[in-house]
Amino acid sequence: MDSIFSRPRQDDYSDGTTNETRLIIGEEPLSPPSTPLPTTKRHQKVSSNFAHMLSTFSHSKDSTFLTLLNQIQSRLAELHDGTDGEYLRQVAVLEDQRDKELLEIEAARGFALERVEREYQEEKRLAEKELQVRPDYPRQSPGYESR
């Protein structure tokens, strides 16, 4: 009985072709098949379609990527110039927010000024009232000293 390691292996295919493989001897790897593997019609069709798609992609990739690059560059130029539609829309939204916040700040400032003015007038009125309640309170002149 022969060992599988003592002789090369032969695979017989239904169409009569054979595939001879060699074992690893030392550091020599297995060699590829000496004849191409048989393929089914489906496999051949898929391989043909793949080859066609690869060829089409290879021919059209340059023009496709150049078109995409030109679109990106034109968008960057519009952004740099400040004429891009999306950029202008975002700027308008931000300006509206800024204007609203400025109005709120101005209103708060106005209310604060009115409150300070009311408090001042109220303190002034209370001080005048206090002065009228005690009219007999002696006023002293700057040079007058009490003894």
Which of the pair, 138 or 43, is modelled with greater confidence? 43
d(CA 134, CA 129): 9
Q: What is the mean pLDDT of residues 60-83?
A: 90
Reported pTM: 0.43
Cβ 34 vs Cβ 19: under 8 Å: yes
> What pLDDT is stored for residue 76 in this prediction?
94
Residue 12 has pLDDT above 50, yes or no: no
> What pLDDT is stored for residue 64 in this prediction?
84
Q: Which of 20-24, 85-89, 102-106, 127-131 has the lowest mean pLDDT?
A: 20-24
- Measured in Å, how far apart are the chain's first and last C-alpha atoms? 146
Q: What is the mean pLDDT of residues 52-59?
A: 85
3-state secondary structure the chain: CCCCCCCCEEEECCCCCEEEECCCECCECCCCCCCCCCCCHHHHHHHHHHHHHHHHHHHHHHHHHHHHHHHHHHHHHHHHHCCCHHHHHHHHHHHHHHHHHHHHHHHHHHHHHHHHHHHHHHHHHHHHHHHHHCCCCCCCCCCCCCC
Residue 109 has pLDDT above 60, yes or no: yes
Q: What is the mean pLDDT of residues 21-41?
A: 57
> What pLDDT is stored for residue 27 in this prediction?
55
Mean pLDDT value across the chain: 78
